Structure 1
Amino acid sequence: MLRAAGEAQTQRRPALVTHHLNADLAGDLGLSCGGTVEIFVEPLVAEPAYVAALEAAAAADAGVVTTATAWDGVAGPIKTFAPLPPGAEPGVPAALSADRRFVVERFALAPRVLVFGAGHVGAAIA
């Protein structure tokens, strides 16, 4: 994943990466439940429309961020934000569009996290 992230940033192009996790990759310690996941890796860019979408999302209570999965030859914004009306269901946190051209992320205000315990893990998380 680090390689994919570095390539995305260097090439200024996102990638959909399929990651297979199995016991062999996890050191065969029995710590892995296995499975396959698709991960969307996108570079951070300083284009005004891209930054404006991120800023609008950060300032909103809830909304939908849509990001194109391929940026070469895209005729339109590569990232957009639309607020959700008050009371709207947050829906699925993130999904690929049916045609796999967009990653659609719905969000609402982050829930509060309560950390119990005063050990080294709890202290680091808090």
Structure 2
Amino acid sequence: MLSLAEDLKLAIRAGLKGVHALALQKLSAKNLGLSEQKAKSIREETTHKVIVEKLSVVATRKLVAEMIASESKLAVTKNTKKKAVSQASNRLQQLSLELLKQANPAELTELQEVLRHKLIEIEKVLKQN
């Protein structure tokens, strides 16, 4: 119990049972793939839900498992999107001058237009951030 997060120690002092706290401890930054601050926020919200709804230990463990699974799916989706942009960038870099010289003018014109449109979209996204 000494290794519990401070927010869980406080919850125990307020009436949360130790076995519930041990289950909630799994909502860590490492397990969720988030920053410590976000993980703490999720853990506090989940702890509140456990207390208010008077969840059993089994229900608490199930809720914790669902939270971890949900966050890991989000992380995978984010990483997949990041990889897609990186892969596109890498593929463009592989277009050597020799490959471009071998392409016909219609293909080069089409590529040029696509790149112009994508550059405009990239600029809009960067301005929003």
TM bin (shorter chain): under 0.3
Q: Larger radius of gyration, structure 1 or 2?
A: 2
TM-score by length of 2: 0.25
User: So what's the TM-score if we normalise by structure 1?
Assistant: 0.25
Between structures 1 and 2, the one with greater strand share: 1
